[in-house]
Chain A
């Protein structure tokens, strides 16, 4: 995936079905994400999320219970969210036994619209370590002062 921004994960002591409800039911979402969530969890559904006195539209992409859920947000109001004008949030739930679930989230955006797919993939593969590694390295360098 080119343009990968953030990738985080956590291990949860609950079955995937329970985790699924927590991440997809609007009244649950309002406890970990926005202050208010108006959303029907169906592919293509348009919703709205309120954060404090700000808010914005959200569009559901993938609904595949209980393993995959994704939506796009942060796109300009009035525009249809597509790659390039929005951020894609993807949740992946992987059961580890019957009572434990690994939950992974990626937030990505600003894909390389002007690059052929094969090249995007190759560069993405070369930088599989992605952000965490990049940030660690930068932090080390910055702590040492400016190079040169």
Chain B
């Protein structure tokens, strides 16, 4: 994935109201913009705008059926986004686990009286 595509995907799904639109598409399959507008607490214009961003990011596609335009989720792209998010969360879990290990070791050492700590950096004292 290029940096630009990555960015697009990022900002497309970072928005809670777009996630709501994605949610509805994921659980209901092919639906029209007006159907979506009836199921969200924001305007039809907002729905159209969100769909355009999602389409731009490759997360949804549309097809014409008779007089209607129906939207659907691009499962492959969504899966990619989901994995990217899960990776990022896992990365923070690893960092937090390391912080825990370091802090607990420092605390155990301080309690044994073997180490002395520098004053808190950036403190108000």
Contact = CB atoms under 8 A, between A and B. Distances in A.
Interface of B: 10-11, 14-17, 19-20, 23, 25-30, 41-42, 72-73, 75, 78-79, 82, 85-86, 88-89, 92-93, 95-100, 102-104, 106-107, 110, 117-118, 120-124
A32 B107 contact: no
A112 B49 CA distance: 13
19 contacts: A4-B16, A5-B14, A6-B85, A8-B92, A8-B93, A10-B96, A10-B97, A13-B104, A21-B118, A22-B102, A24-B122, A31-B102, A33-B95, A65-B123, A109-B10, A115-B17, A134-B23, A138-B78, A142-B82
Contacts of A4: 14, 16
Contacts of A103: 96, 99-100
A95 interface: no
Contacts of B73: 146-147
Interface residues of A, dominant DSSP: mixed
Interface of A: 2-6, 8-10, 12-15, 17-25, 28, 31-33, 41-42, 63, 65-66, 99, 101, 103, 105, 107-110, 112, 115, 119, 122-124, 126-127, 131-132, 134-135, 137-139, 141-142, 145-148
Contact of B100 (A10, A132, A148): A10
Interface residues of B, dominant DSSP: helix
